[in-house]
Structure formats: C-alpha cells, structure tokens
C-alpha cells in the first residue's frame, strides 16, 4: 500500500519529468525541425530593407552584417574603427554585389546619449530600416569589483556607456521609426548567458547584459505583433572579446548568429546554438554556489594571464 507521501512524491516526479521531457522536445523541434522565417519577405516594406548593425566591424556584429547581407538586407554599420568598417564593407560588396553598405563611425563610449540618438536618427533617414541588431559591447578585464584599479574602473565606465547607455539610445532612436512602418520589423538585442545568473569577476559586464536581457523581453511584450524582438544570450563565442577558439563548447560568431536569426519571429529569447542551449540549461539546474565557485576558479586563472599581459605591456 502506498502511503500518501509516496503518492505525492510520485506525482511530483512525474510532473517534473514531463516538464523536462516537454522542454527537451520543444528545444529539439526548434533546433532541428522548425522552419526559419524568410526575414527578407517578413520585413520588406515599400523600399529595399536595411539592417542597422551596431558593432558590425568585428566578431558577432560582423557575422550579423554578413548574414543579413546574405539574406538580402542592405547594411548600415555603426562602429568605432573606420578601417575595420571599410574592410567589412569591402567583404560584403565582394560577396554580395547587389547589397548596399553604409558605414557610420561612432565611438559609443565617448558619445553622449543625445549624440548617439542623433547619429542613429540621421543615419536611418531616407532608408527603410527594417531590422536593428543592437550588438556593440565590451567587457572589462575579469577582476573582483572590490579589487578594481584605474584600468578596470575606466573599462567599467566604457562598458556601461556602450552596453547600457548607447544600447538604450540606439533603441530610443530606432524603435519609433521601426514601429511606425507598415510592415513588421525585427530587433535583436545581444545580451549574454551571464545575464541569467551573474558571472564572477565580471560583475559590471554581467549586470549590463542583464539590462539588455530585461529590456529586450519588455520590448518584445510591448511591440508584439508589430516587431519581432529577441534577446540573444550566447555563452562563449570565438571573438576578439574572448580570444577563444571555437570548439564544442565555444561557438563561432557565424554559428550563433545564424541560430539567432533562425529563431527571430519565433522566440523572445535564444541562447543560439544547441550546445549553448544545453550549457545554459545545465547551469540553471546546478546549485548556484557550485556554479559560482567553479567560475571563480576559472576566472582567477584568466586574471593571472591578464596580469602577465599588463605587466609585459608596462615594460614595453
Ligand atoms: N564573445 C562572446 O563570448 C560573447 C558572449 C555573449 C555575448 N556577447 C556579446 O556580443 C556582443 C559582441 O561581442 P563580440 O564578442 O563580437 O566582441 P568583439 O569581437 O570585441 O566586437 C565588438 C564590436 O563592438 C564594437 N565596439 C566596441 N566598443 C565600441 C565603441 N566604444 N563604440 C562603437 N563600437 C564599439 C567593436 O568595434 P571595433 O571593431 O571598432 O572595436 C566591434 O565591432 C557584445 O555585446 C557582447 O557582450 C559576446
């Protein structure tokens, strides 16, 4: 005879297993079977559609610029370094000769909110911008906030300026224009997995990414039916920011971007590639203190490498 306790425990077990099984089936369907939207058809208005990409001169942003050009969008690329912007423009024009590319040089760490707002508004004028990729971002060197020195303090200031202030200025300028179009539009806010649970030795970075994530989900609700808004929350991606090489845990910029664009119009949040979805699910299931302890161990090692580099740079 089952006791009431055994019965209750079995019900909880069945419900929990069913929940995880459903989640798994949904993830597998979204990853392998669900057809992605033809974004060009979905967002095309009266003119040829443009995509505004911030930080499209390198890494994940460059991959967005290349992939959206491939999907038929003209590219309005806003970034910091003119030579890198020119190189991306040349690469797009050589690969997709029918695509137009316009580059706008802007240091978003130095410009004010109002300046960024004006630059974005002017750059969008006369172009049918249908997609915004709000990607530009940076991370201070890993360090405990309590041990910040001048270099990290300046980096943290710049990270907040770009990841939060510029991120919001771009949305404030672009969303009224996008929302007023007759056709649907798309917005990708590049956040990070660190938005979910924080990231030891990266307190400022993770907090800015949580801001990106919460903003994105709020806008997805506010603009539903008019705009597809998605929060892109990858784990590690091979780029200048991480200096990591791609492997089964670290995605290439191209892989995470294709996965996110394939989710646009279907989901409000995506970690991108399957490996990142699985890693994010495992992290969420782990006891928080175990995750934080492991992160601190890894980040201490990374910090030692940064210190060696800083010391070598001082000697030069
Ligand atoms: N890499 C990862 O593992 C990872 C994981 C999760 C989320 N993310 C997010 O993905 C986004 C892109 O990161 P990434 O890895 O591609 O980095 P990245 O390779 O360093 O590229 C950063 C891009 O942002 C631009 N940028 C940086 N500071 C700027 C400024 N002050 N003004 C204007 N543009 C500026 C850069 O322009 P310049 O080329 O001119 O410097 C570059 O185009 C960030 O928001 C980051 O938080 C990255």
Pocket test for ligand 1, best of 67, 80, 170, 257 (most atoms within 8 A of CB): 80
Question: Which of the listed residues 192, 238, 241 should we mutate to test ligand 1's pocket, taking the one with most ligand atoms within 8 A of CB?
Answer: 241
Pick the CATH number of 38-283 from 3.40.640.10, 3.40.50.720, 3.50.50.60, 3.90.1150.10: 3.40.50.720
DSSP structural state of residue 44: -
As a whole number, mean pLDDT of residues 176-195 equals 98
What does the pLDDT average to over 20-49?
92
Which of 56, 59, 104, 196 maximizes ligand 1 atoms within 8 Å of its Cβ, making it the mutation to test the pocket? 59
- Give the ranges where the chain is alpha helix by DSSP (H): 4-28, 39-43, 59-70, 82-95, 113-124, 150-160, 167-180, 194-197, 203-223, 253-263, 274-285, 288-315
Q: What is the pLDDT of residues 67-119, one digit of tens each?
A: 999 999 999 999 999 999 999 999 999 999 999 999 999 999 999 999 999 99
CA of 218 from ligand 1 middle (Å) equals 23
Residue for token pair 């299931």: 285
Q: Domain coordinates of the chain in residue numbers?
A: 38-283
Nearest to 125 by CA among 52, 209, 55: 52
How far apart CA 96 and CA 92 sit, in angstroms, is: 6
CA-CA distances (angstroms) from residue 4 to 7, 9, 118?
5, 9, 66
Average model confidence (pLDDT) across the chain:
96
pLDDT tens per residue across span 196-224: 999 999 999 999 999 999 999 999 999 99
Beta strands across the sheet bearing 49-54:
101-105, 74-79, 49-54, 128-134, 185-190, 227-232, 269-270
φ and ψ at residue 251, rounded to 5 degrees: -85, 160
pLDDT level of residue 179 (50, 70, 90 thresholds): very high
Average pLDDT over every residue of 43-49? 95
What are 123-134's pLDDT values in tens digits? 999 999 999 999
Q: For the chain, how many residues are written?
A: 316
Supply φ then ψ for residue 105, to 5 degrees.
Answer: -90, 125
Q: Which residues line ligand 1 (CB under 6 A)?
A: 55, 57-61, 79-81, 84, 106-109, 135-138, 162, 190, 192, 234, 236-237, 239-242
Residue 212 has φ and ψ, to the nearest 5°, of -60, -40
Query: Strands 227-232 and 269-270: what pairing?
Result: parallel
Q: With contact defined as beta carbons under 8 Å apart, do 254 and 288 qualify?
A: no
For the whole model, what pTM was predicted?
A: 0.94
Q: Band the pLDDT of 140: cuts 50, 70, 90.
A: very high
State yes or no: pLDDT of 256 exceeds 70. yes
Is 2's pLDDT higher than 80? no
What's the pLDDT at 315?
Answer: 82
């Amino acid at each position: 005879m089952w006791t009431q306790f055994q019965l209750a425990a079995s019900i909880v077990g069945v419900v929990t297993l069913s929940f995880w099984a459903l989640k798994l089936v949904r993830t597998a369907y979204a990853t392998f079977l669900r057809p992605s939207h033809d974004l060009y058809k979905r967002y095309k208005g009266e003119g040829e559609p443009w995509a505004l990409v911030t930080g499209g001169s390198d890494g994940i942003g460059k991959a967005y610029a290349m992939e959206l050009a491939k999907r038929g969008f003209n590219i309005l690329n806003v970034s910091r370094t003119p030579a890198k912007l020119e190189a991306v423009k040349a690469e797009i024009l050589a690969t997709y000769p029918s695509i137009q590319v316009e580059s706008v040089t802007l240091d978003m760490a130095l410009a004010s909110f109002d300046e960024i707002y004006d630059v974005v508004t002017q750059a969008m004028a006369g172009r049918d911008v249908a997609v915004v990729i709000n990607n530009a971002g940076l991370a201070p060197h890993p360090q405990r906030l309590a041990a910040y020195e001048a270099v990290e303090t300046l980096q943290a200031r710049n990270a907040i300026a770009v990841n939060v202030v510029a991120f919001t200025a771009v949305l404030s300028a672009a969303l009224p224009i996008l929302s007023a179009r007759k056709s649907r539009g798309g917005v990708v806010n590049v956040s990070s997995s660190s938005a979910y649970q924080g990231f030891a030795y990266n307190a400022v970075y993770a907090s800015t990414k949580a801001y990106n994530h919460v903003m994105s989900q709020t806008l997805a609700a506010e603009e539903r039916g008019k705009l597809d808004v998605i929060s892109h929350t990858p784990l590690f991606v091979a780029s200048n920011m991480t200096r990591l090489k791609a492997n089964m845990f670290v995605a290439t910029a191209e892989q995470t971007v294709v996965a996110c664009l394939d989710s646009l119009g279907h989901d409000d949040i995506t970690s991108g590639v399957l490996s990142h979805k699985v890693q994010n699910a495992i992290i969420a299931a782990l006891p928080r203190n175990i995750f934080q302890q492991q992160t601190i161990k890894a980040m201490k090692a990374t910090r030692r490498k940064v210190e060696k580099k800083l010391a070598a740079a001082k000697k030069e």
